[in-house]
Amino acid sequence: MAKAPVLTPQADDFPRWYQDVLAKAELADNGPVRGTMVIRPYGYSLWERMQAEMDARIKEAGAENAYFPLFIPESYLTREAEHVEGFSPELAVVTHAGGKELDEPVVVRPTSETVIGEFMSKWISSHRDLPLLLNQWANVVRWELRTRIFLRTSEFLWQEGHTAHATEADASAYARRILHDVYRDFMVNVLAMPVLLGRKTRRERFAGATNTLACEAMMGDGKALQMGTSHELGQNFARAFDITFQDASGTQQTAWTTSWGTSTRMMGGLILCHGDDAGLRIPPRLASTQVVVLAIRDDDEVVAAARRLAEELRAAGVRVRLDDRTDVSFGRRATDWELKGVPVRVEVGPRDLANGEVTVLRRDTGDRSQVAVEAVAAAVPPLLELVQADLLAAATARHDARSADVATLEEAREAARTGFARIPWATLGEAGEEALAADAVTVRCLQLPDGSVPDREDDPEVLAVVARAY
């Protein structure tokens, strides 16, 4: 009798496969309240790595971490009309606390432009106080009707950056710096995911922004996932919250602000972009465990050798885990680590050890090689970099193969069934965008032919990238 697959094959039911990976790789569970999630230790270890890599890049861009309240007075949101209108359907509002009705309802933060704007107004008085570059790591609540763990939940974790600048040009340049130097750099060089950078159309723009920039990635089924956004807010929030300063000549000026964010949605992107029928495939630069050393049998020499190899790898700077649970079958343990997507396995068995060797296996390709015991610590670090590069190359090849240049609305609709379509924005326009939206196809971003971000929508060279999306 054929052995039943551990996971639903992607080709049979991609959404079911995703749910299987969440459960069997021990990433997350549904929370007790609809739309919430419990992130399990292995899943959270990956999120911590994402946080660490992103946080370092955010700080290199000059921003400092702070923390702002979870609860926001309802009146704050109403100060910026477009903002409150955009978020109103998703708000969770507290009306009672301490056994009595509140004088003013408070909103559980959906995002923090308003409360941070209030404090920017207090902290900024002079041009010497600018730029003010803030970031916070927090949770937010947006009451979603249709939820899926990591991709769209009522509560999720994220970072949100908020900045104030003396000029529009400075604010615009900083929003683009975050998009390219922080988000794109992290997603390409750590997550091993190719991303498109572009500007959102008016229809897709963040509520209250004058311009929204985005990173869009293709998932394994050809759908798009918005991985991060950076918004130019103009002076909309600055006017609403009186964020003003005296310039060098003593004249009172209104600041220009930005906001930008990424979230645990990147966890969903990691699964959907790199996962295969055996489970996760984690890029080594992200992996909380880069190598697992498995002792195959309950043999003193084997277990001792496995421990020595783990120590040597750790000394070489590798994030390593020793699996000497010889009371659990080797097959079950190997399958579990495969599900979790650990990039490299080092298998230590008595027969190989008798020859002075161990087996080294790549999770991404399944390739096995015999490596001399004394050479393992030197061989593994370059192998990890090769795995990292090959995962990016494979994702890039898939993206390129499933992206098409089209000339008509119908061709765009057809190409979006299996991947991305690029069509001149002058051809599509807002009317075509609305027509595609009726078929659940959206304009993911606007780009120039060389892949750069356009300054204006009305540039005749601008292309619209359209796709079905999560």
b/e string for 412-445 if b means 16 or more Cβ within 10 A?
bbebbeebbbbbbbeebeeebbebbeeeebbbbb
- What pLDDT is attached to residue 81? 78
> How many Å apart are CA 159 and CA 261, to the nearest integer?
5
Helix orientation angle between 265-274 and 376-401, rounded to the nearest 10 degrees: 90
Provide CB contacts within 8 A for 227, sequence distance 6+. Answer: 183, 187, 193, 195, 214, 215, 216, 217, 262, 265, 266, 269
- pLDDT tens digit sequence for 294-343: 999 999 999 999 999 999 999 999 999 999 999 999 999 999 999 999 99
Residues 211-221, mean pLDDT to the nearest whole number: 98
Provide CB contacts within 8 A for 98, sequence distance 6+. Answer: none
Q: Is 68 exposed, middle or buried (0-12, 13-18, 19+ CB in 10 A)?
A: middle
Question: Does residue 93 carry a pLDDT above 90?
Answer: yes
Average pLDDT for the chain: 96
Which DSSP category does 85 fall into?
A: H
**14-274 topology per CATH:** BirA Bifunctional Protein; domain 2 (3.30.930)
- What pLDDT is attached to residue 450? 96
pLDDT band at 1; cut points 50, 70, 90: very low
Sign of CA dihedral 118, 120, 123, 126: negative
pLDDT band at 4; cut points 50, 70, 90: low
Q: Report whether CATH 3.40.50 matches the domain 403-467.
A: no
Q: How far is CA 274 from each of CA 47, 66, 217, 394, 456, rounded to the nearest angstrom?
A: 16, 33, 12, 9, 34
Provide CB contacts within 8 A for 306, sequence distance 6+. Answer: 293, 294, 295, 322, 324, 346, 348
Question: Does residue 31 carry a pLDDT above 60?
Answer: yes
- pLDDT tens digit sequence for 164-213: 999 999 999 999 999 999 999 999 999 999 999 999 999 999 999 999 99
Residues 363-379, mean pLDDT to the nearest whole number: 98
The whole-model pTM stands at 0.96
Provide CB contacts within 8 A for 394, sequence distance 6+. Answer: 364
Domain boundaries, the chain: 14-274, 291-383, 403-467
Q: How far is CA 99 from each of CA 72, 102, 285, rounded to the nearest angstrom?
A: 19, 9, 50
H or E element: which one contains 74?
helix 74-78
b/e string for 89-120 if b means 16 or more Cβ within 10 A?
eebeeeeeeeeeeeeeebbbbbbbbbbbbbbb
> How many Å apart are CA 323 and CA 240, to the nearest integer?
57
pLDDT band at 361; cut points 50, 70, 90: very high
> How many Å apart are CA 1 and CA 414, to the nearest integer?
41
Residues 378-392, mean pLDDT to the nearest whole number: 98
- What pLDDT is attached to residue 3? 56
Question: Does residue 2 carry a pLDDT above 70?
Answer: no
In this predicted structure, which of 15-29, 68-82, 437-451 has the lowest mean pLDDT? 68-82
Question: Does residue 86 carry a pLDDT above 90?
Answer: no
- What pLDDT is attached to residue 85? 85
DSSP 256-319: EEEEEEEETHHHHHHHHHH-BTTB----TTT-S-SEEEEE-SS-HHHHHHHHHHHHHHHHTT--
**Are the C-beta atoms of 174 and 131 separated by less than 8 Å?**
yes
Amino acid sitting at position 124: I
> How many Å apart are CA 370 and CA 131, to the nearest integer?
55
H or E element: which one contains 31?
none
Q: How far is CA 378 from each of CA 348, 352, 365, rounded to the nearest angstrom?
A: 17, 19, 21
- pLDDT tens digit sequence for 136-158: 999 999 998 899 999 999 999 99
What whole-number percentage of the chain has pLDDT above 90?
95
Q: Candidates 1.10.569.10, 3.90.470.20, 3.30.2350.10, 3.40.50.800; correct CATH number of 291-383?
A: 3.40.50.800
